[in-house]
């Protein structure tokens, strides 16, 4: 199936389940398929860094949520 919607991927750099290799392969596949995408990696951030209870990742979380809102604004019909 062809993907027509743009993708925003916010990736935790220290995620133990989704490695940097997987992220790179994902980005390559999207680029090769011509899918509009934006991938952002938050170095050192753990899986679920969006959870605002992680005070040490508050800046990354704020940036990620800002990107989500901007992405939705740009791509909403």
Residue 1 in domain: no
Give pLDDT, residue 54.
76
Give pLDDT, residue 30.
93
Residue 44 in domain: yes
As for how many domains the chain has, the answer is: 1
* Owning domain of residue 48: 7-75
Give pLDDT, residue 50.
84
Residue 43 in domain: yes
Handedness of CA 47, 44, 74, 69 (dihedral sign): positive
pLDDT in tens, the chain (77 residues): 577 799 999 999 999 999 989 999 999 999 999 999 999 999 999 988 887 677 889 999 999 999 999 999 999 97
Residue 2 in domain: no
CB count within 10 Å of CB 20 equals 13
């Amino acid at each position: 199936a062809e993907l027509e919607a743009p993708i925003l991927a916010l990736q935790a750099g220290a995620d133990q389940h989704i490695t940097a290799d997987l992220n790179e392969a994902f980005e390559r596949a999207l680029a090769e398929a011509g899918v509009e995408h934006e991938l952002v990696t938050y170095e050192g951030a753990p899986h679920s860094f969006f959870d605002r209870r992680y005070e040490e990742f508050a800046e990354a979380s704020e940036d990620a949520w800002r990107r989500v809102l901007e992405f939705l604004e740009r791509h909403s019909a």
